[in-house]
Every structure is written in C-alpha cells, then in structure tokens.
Amino acid sequence: MRLTEFSDPERFGDDNAGKHQADQANSCCNKEISVGSTQPSGLWGKRSTALQVLFAVVAVVTVCAGSQWLSARSDETDAASQAILPRPRDMAAETLDAASPELAARIEMLWNSQASGDERRRALTELQALVPAIPTDGPHASLRQRLLRRLALLSATFDAAAVSSLQAPGTDYTAQLQSAAAQLAAVLSTTPNGRLWIEYLALNGLTQPIDDGTSERISAFMTRVSAIDQMSPEQQGFLLSSEVQDLKASAESAVAYRQTFASDDEARQALTRQIDHLLRGLLQNEANPSIAAADRARHAWRSIRARFPAAADVLRPGLNEHYLNNNLHVTLSETLIARLISNSRTESGRVADTILGAWVTGTQTTSAQISVDVIPSSSTASFALRLNGNTKSSTVAQKSPATVWTSGDHYFKVEKTVVFDGSTVALSASSFDVDTNNRTTGFRTRYDDMPLFGGLARNMAQQKIADSKPQSDAETARRLRRDIVPKFDEETGNRFGTLNADLQKTLTALKARNAGPDNISARSSGSHIAVSSRSIGSGRLGGSTQPVLPLPDEGGAVQVHESVLNNTLDALRLHGRIVPDDQLTAELEKALSDLLQREVKLSKPADPAVVQTAPSTEAQAAAPAEGTAADEPEKSTSFIFSKADPLRVRFDNGELTLLIQAGIRQEGREDLPVHTIVVPIAISLADSKIVMTPRPVRVLSAPITVANQLRKVISRRIKARESDAVMQLQSGTDKELSVTITRIELNDGWLTTEFR
C-alpha cells in the first residue's frame, strides 16, 4: 500500500471558511484590548505536542535564517516573465526539451494569451496526452507532477470561463456575515476598551437589516480592516487575527454575491477577470510564495464561488486537489506506536485480607505488558490499548476448622480503545477478562489427629473446597479487576489527558497567531494510523497532491508542504522589524516557544567536529584576497526585514531554499536596502548523518555593488552542517524512543521524511 492510497478520502475547499466564527469570536473573551486617543491601539493579551514534527522543521528553517549557516556567490537578476500570465520559471524551453522535445512548442502556445482559444485548447489536449508519458520515477518526475497540476488548472479555467449559466443564484453570505459580526461585537463590548474597536471597524453597520445601504456598510468595514500599514504591531496583530480575517472573508463573499450585471456580457467579463486573478495568484505564489499572491487567489475564489456558482463547480475539484489541500501528513506504523507506548512491569507484594470469611495471607506477583493493535477506521485514528498480564500467588486461608494452602496462576487482559477524531483523543471504558486458575496444594483440619473423626472431617472439608471453587474463582476475578482496572484507567487517563491538554494549548497558541490548522482529519488501517491537517486560514494557500511513498513497515513518515512552513513563518511577526544579528536567534527562539507553547532552542554550543565544506571555485573567485577588509572584524549588524514576506521557504530538487526579504544595517555605514536573498541548501542523508550543504547565494534585482555587500554580510554566516540522523521521541512519560531518519526528499513543494 502507498501513502496516497491511505490518504484522507475527504477533499475540501474553503467553502467552510468562517464556519467556526462563533467559536473564534468567543475565544476573544480571554484577551485584553487597550486603546489610544485616536485609533484603537489594541493589544490582544499574551496568548497562550502532537506538533513536534512541525516544530522540528520550523526549527531547521529558522536556524537557517538566524544562526549562521549559508555560502556566498554571484548575483542573479530576477528573470520573472513579463507576459500577461506569469509563466513559471521551471517551464523554460531547455527544461522541457530535456524531458520531451515535443513539450516546448505546445507549452509556448498554451501560455500565449494572444493566441486563439481553439489553438490553446488544442495545445492543452496534446499536452494532456504527452505529459503522462514522462516516467514517474526518473529525473523529470517532479516536472511531470507540476505540469499535470498546471494543465489541470488551465483546463479548469478554460471550462469555467465558458459556463453557460452566469446568473444562477449562489450562497447569500450576508446573513452569515451579520451573525458573525454580531457575535464578535458582543464579545468586544464586554472586553476592556473593546467598544472602540467596534466603532473603528464599523461592526454595528454589518448587523443592520439588509437594505440598499448594505453593500456600502460592508465596504466600509473592509476598508477599515485593510488599513493596517500605519498601525502598531499590536494593532496589526489583532486585525490579522483569525476572528477578524475570517469576518473579512465573509464580507468579501457577501459583496461578491450582491453584485448585479446589466447583461450576460458584462457578467462574463467579470467572471473572466476573477478567473484571471485566480490563475495569476496561484501561479505567482508557486513561483515565489507571497501573502499578496495567495490572498489575491483566495479573494478571487471567494468572488467566483459567491457570484458564479456554476463556474465554481468546475474549478473546485482541481483547486481542492492541487492548491487548497492538506499541507501536513503524519503516518505511523503499528510497530512504531507499540514501541512508543508499550511498557512492561512486575510488582510483588504480600497478601493479608479476609476473603469469603477466611483469613488469607501469603505473597503475590503480577507481571503485565502493554501492547497496541491498530483498528481500521475511515474517520478516526484508532487503536486498541491492551494490558496483558499474569498474577501468581501463594496463599494460606484459615477458617475454622480448616486451613487451606492455594497456588494461583491467573491470566488477565484489560483493553480500551483510543480514538483521535482530529480534535481530541478519547478513551473508551476498559473491558476486563481473566482466566483464573486456583489450585489447592494442601489442607488440614483440627480433627486430622482424631482416629474416629479425622477421615470424615477431611472428606467434608475437601467437598466444601470443591463446592466453593466457583465462588472462590469469581471472588478472585473481582479482586483482580478491582486492583488492576482502576490503576490502568488512571495511568492511561493521565497520559492521554496530558496529551490532549498539550495539543489544545498548542493549537490555541497557533490559532491566536492565525497559523493554526483549520482542519485536522485522521484515519487508520489495520497496520497504520495517519493524521493530516490543513493550515491556510482565510488568505493563504495549502498543499498539492500528497507525494507517493510506500507505507513504512516499522517506522513512520512525515510529509510537510512548504505552505505550512510559510504560514507559520508569518506568525513569527518579523514584518518590518529591525533585529540585531546577535539577537535574531534569541528572538526566533522566544517567538517559537510562545507559538508552540514549549521551550525551543535553536542555538547550541560550538562543535569543533562540525564539517565545513570547501568553498566552490566561484566562491573563491568572489572572495576578497587575504589582508583585505574582509579580515577586519565585522561591525555591529542588524537585519531590516521587509514588511511583506520577510521569510519564505521552497522545497524542490533536493533543496530547501530560504528566501530572505531583508536589508542590512551596519554601524557607521549606509543601510543596504531590502532585497530578496535566495539561499539554497541541499539536504541529504549520508553515513547516518543529515548533511546540509549551502549552494551559491543569489541576490535578486539588486545593483551589483549592493548585491556584493549583501553577499559579503551573509557569507560570514554560512556554514555546512552535519547532524545525527537519530532523534528522540517522547512517549508522554519519562520514556524516550530513539528513531533514525532513513529518507529525506524535497520535491515539488514537499519535504518527505521517513524514520524507523
């Protein structure tokens, strides 16, 4: 079985965006707002791991940004196409010719928006026949996947633009907008100084009855919520919160629904314009991930969905599969879960109790082993948690006139089902089964020495022992249940209760930063459990089709799409900030610790054994000669981060590419302006080590002198690194499990890691 065959059967778009607004609005109750004399100077109060894997990947990315990795090289000017539609750079003629000589000319025709519709459709049809012939496991497998995705997108946009029904009613989002606005206003009205936010955002206007002025009132709200450039970071944090942004998304949908057109021609022009915005945003975000491109695509999609439902029906399957899909998948084998959870224990003690009227003393030893059995489920990740054990006892029971010696050898099983439904872990009641085996090893009576009554008394005692065996076995089972089940319930309840609390705490913190998953789904087969999540909020994009990977027999796999990392990097709130170089790592550690609700450490003591690769020939040529200014101590340096997309990552061709939108401020020198610094880092496995090798750094669209200075500053912080491929997983107790990463693959936006 492959991971794609075991993937979540549900495919979803953003049709449900905002459906949890009531819950989100209610979450405001725990936050505090303060205001200034003019605009609200609101500051949501401090917000307060199932997401360990996400943390680990974020840590790798942020280390790259802040704590001295990277390798400098020559300049490169941004060669983005100036065509009407942004043609992806990886679809250049030479790349296509290497995969198939028949592709380039047809791609050229397909991307030529000046060609006739018939010519472009013919090129599309021919490409749809050619691309599947590219091998799925060769050097062009990634190109094949990208081409199939883009062909599906263009085919859907052609068909959507040609739908016959343009005036069909869609979903009226106005009532939903009114309800959500009323709930948010109600929460803010009970929050200190929250009434000023209600006034500033014109929320009361959204709750008024629908009339001729409804569209204007909605537009007033959208104008206010979009005017955040001059606000403080705290104010921006509130306006970018999921509560406000989801309300804005509903407002956009309501405005689109209320649009009217004088003719079908006018309606078709509006539809074509929105499809163009959608296509533009999706392709631009693929070429260079940005919040502006993603927001443009999501806005266009909301407009099409609300006003042109027939066209939306055509677009939805492809968008859901390739651009709004889950962006994190975790698959764990039963074997790995068992290793993580399984435990064995032996306890011994003395027995001293009254049982069935007899005084019983002796010794007892219980040995138990916890095991796991994954249960098939299409909607939950489920497994049976089993405690199998054996109790051995040696006792003496005294009840006049007899004393009985007994040996016990009892086998028991306790079982409860653990179910994760995507939000919480639930435990079923425990079932208990026992096979009792009490064997009488000897007995005597106080009449044994009497010649006349001894034999008779022994016979009577022996018969009474035999008659009471069922009652004795039942009492043994009852007492074993009493001693074992409550303790098992308490320990498992504590373990999974802690897991639930940690999960909810982390999700709440992520949600407060508009970085939490809006959907988590889970399922299980007879041998594996899998959990997938989608983190896109109301203005971002998600993952594409999950990469094919054989199910791990003994370990697990994590597949992370670059979109989940980029959405999380936005939550670090570096936008427009000036951060000293020597404080950047500490800043990132603090932000990540607050975000993930656990201590995050990115820096570590210097390791003399760290391998540093020799500089490339080009890097040597670009490096200053010995004795030049390069040998002088570097002055105090700060990073000037862009207000938009300060940090972005891409996963492709075996590389993690870090995109830093920043300038440099150095003491006594003129500031270097913000530019895009491209830092490719090859990641591979070798000799049980994760090897991270920087590739030549590029600076886009910068004058050569500025690019050289940026490279010089960045180059001092660039190192190759090796780290151990063994990592420790926590079981929720003091137990740690060592697992070894056996595969790392970065392609087509996905980072796939396999471990066992």
Pick 63 or 166 by higher pLDDT. Answer: 166
Burial class (CB in 10 A: 0-12, 13-18, 19+), 223: exposed
In three-state secondary structure terms, 76 is coil
pLDDT at residue 598, rounded to an integer: 67
Q: Is the previous residue joined to 192 through a cis bond, with omega within 30 degrees of 0? A: no
515/511 Cα distance (integer angstroms): 5
Question: pLDDT tens for residues 45-63?
Answer: 222 233 333 334 434 333 3
- Report the SS3 class of residue 307: helix
Q: In the predicted model, what is the mean pLDDT of residues 654-662?
A: 90
Dist. CA 646–CA 573, nearest whole Å: 9
- For Cα atoms 439, 445, 451, give the angle at the middle one, nearest 5 degrees: 125
- Angle, in degrees to the nearest 10, between helices 291-307 and 264-287: 150
Kindly report, residue by residue over 110-150, the tens digit of the pLDDT: 888 788 889 999 999 999 999 998 888 888 888 888 999 99
Q: What is the pLDDT of residue 634?
A: 58
DSSP per-residue string spanning 116-130 = -HHHHHHHHHHHHHH
The token duo for 267 is 């309606």
> Cα(300)–Cα(600) distance, rounded to whole angstroms?
38
Mean pLDDT highest for which of 205-219, 308-322, 713-727? 308-322
- Which is more confident, 98 or 302? 302
Q: Which two tokens stand for residue 5?
A: 């065959």
Tell me the pLDDT tens digit for each residue of 340-381. Answer: 888 888 999 898 888 888 898 999 999 999 999 999 999 999
pLDDT in tens, 282-312: 999 988 889 899 999 999 999 999 999 999 9
In this prediction, residue 161 has a pLDDT band, given cuts at 50, 70 and 90, of very high
Q: What are the DSSP calls for 704-741, one per residue?
A: HHHHHHHHHHHHTT---EEEESEEEEE-SSS-EEEEEE
Give the Å distances, CA to CA, from 262 to 259, 265, 306: 10, 8, 18
- The pLDDT value recorded for residue 59 is 41
How many whole angstroms from its chain centre is CA 330?
9
* Most confident stretch, 73-77, 204-208, 369-373: 369-373
Copy the structure tokens of residue 223.
């104008």
For residue 400, the 8-state DSSP code is: T
Alpha-carbon distance of 23 to 21, in angstroms, equals 5
> Mean pLDDT in the chain?
80
**Listed ranges 81-95, 335-349, 444-458; the one with the highest mean pLDDT:** 335-349
Q: pLDDT at position 40, please?
A: 36
Would you place residue 90 in the very low, low, confident or very high pLDDT band (cuts 50, 70, 90)?
confident
Q: Give the pTM.
A: 0.81
What CA–CA distance (Å, rounded) separates 372 from 417? 10
Cα–Cα distance list, 140 to 301, 548, 653, 680, 684 (Å): 31, 15, 10, 20, 19
Q: Cα 510 from chain centroid?
A: 10
The stretch 261-283 carries a mean pLDDT of 92
Between 140-149, 229-238, 297-306, 507-516, the lowest mean confidence (pLDDT) is in: 229-238
Query: Do the Cβ atoms of 726 and 756 come closer than 8 Å?
Result: no
Within 8 A by CB and 6+ apart from 212, the residues are: none
pLDDT on residue 371: 92
Phi then psi for residue 182, to 5 deg, are -65, -40
Where would I find the H helices in 327-436? Answer: 334-341
C-beta separation of 362 from 396 below 8 A = yes
The CA distance from 600 to 587, in Å, is 11
Query: Which amino acid would we find at residue 616?
Result: S
Residues forming a β-bridge with 516? none
Instruction: Report how far residue 753's alpha carbon sits from residue 743's, in angstroms, rounded to the nearest whole number.
Output: 6
